Amino acid sequence: MTINLLRDIGVTSLPTKPNEIESKLICFLQFGWLFTEKAAREIIGENVLCSGGYSKNLVKIVKMLFLSRTKSLEAFHRLSCLGIQHLSTAPKIAVVLSGSGVYDGSEIHEACATLSHITREGAEPICYAPDVQQMHVVNHVKGAPADGETRNVLVESARIARGNIKPLSGLKASEVDGVVFPGGFGAAKNLSDFAVNGDKCKLNSEVSRVIKEFHSAKKPIALCCIAPVLAAATINGVTITLGKTDDGSGKWPHSGAIDAAKSMGAKMEMKGVMEACVDKKNLIVTSPAFMYEGKFHEIYDGIGVMIKTLIGLVRK
């Protein structure tokens, strides 16, 4: 039995402030050493087997995991009863959605690429969205607002998250390792009012709190497509990319956002769709995504570069 087995059955973290005896056990658990009952007694001390508290629970876990040599899920489910909720080194990455659909919410392909690349990198995505009404609802066939319709950002985002989503008000930097903001007009309409007010925009209060909290905690933030303007509006002098200026090819139709971000104090790097911009000082990673009129696989692969870079910063 090694820590890989524990990860396989969903045990994802150890105590953050272990005592001396717990520390010994954690050390052996993390390095995957096999236990015998004799070895366990020698490592943790004979007296612990009869003591109360958390250490006694860890002894039970050691005996259950290493002496029985079983993969029984029923047995592992007892871990929560013993006070252990998590035991893995897999990073937890928050994904902040802004609805469902490019013109009034999250760009679905960008959101799905984000989730796919997070799990491919061995991390766990956790979806969040603000529990607020959308700025408006857009008929995606006509590309025009649908009169008389209203939709909730959290409810719509749940479509992408397959129902497994939490209100953004519950996101705390202390509980995850990084955060990603996919693009789509929802970032400029529901997470902020950039679509209306440009460089004078204001952010949703929870979005602003989250970015400031992660930045203060020195935990990396990734944003793609138009979402980097959220960082520009929050972090003074941040370096981001919104793609490239219009070169006459028609491939960069939203390059006007570059000037707006500069007006907000952001430093700009010109990056292609398959590239990511890294602000090492502020731990901000950005990529153009659908700021570029590209093919689906180009957007997918470019977001992969961004997520790989983000996870690399998390694991440093």
CA dist list (Å): 313 to 16, 154, 280, 282: 21, 28, 9, 11
Structure tokens at 114: 């984000």
Neighbours of 97 (CB within 10 A): 33
CA distances from 52 to 56, 59, 60 (A): 6, 10, 11
Residue 118 tokens, joined: 């997070």
The closest alpha carbon to 289, from 129, 147, 210, 182, belongs to 182
Tell me which of 201, 224, 225, 277 is the catalytic residue. Answer: 225
Closest CA to 247 of 209, 203, 293: 293
- Name the token pair of 200: 């004078």
- With contact defined as beta carbons under 8 Å apart, do 160 and 100 qualify? yes
Closest CA relative to residue 203, chosen from 195, 4, 138, 55: 195
Q: What is the DSSP string of 276-298?
A: -EEETTTTEEEE-GGGS---HHH
Q: Is 225 a catalytic residue?
A: yes
C-alpha distance across the termini of the chain, in Å: 27
Buried b (16+ CB within 10 A) or exposed e, 183-220: bbbbbbbbbbbbbeebbebebbebbbbbbeebbeeebb
Distance CA 306, CA 315 (A): 14
Q: Hey, which residues are catalytic here?
A: 225
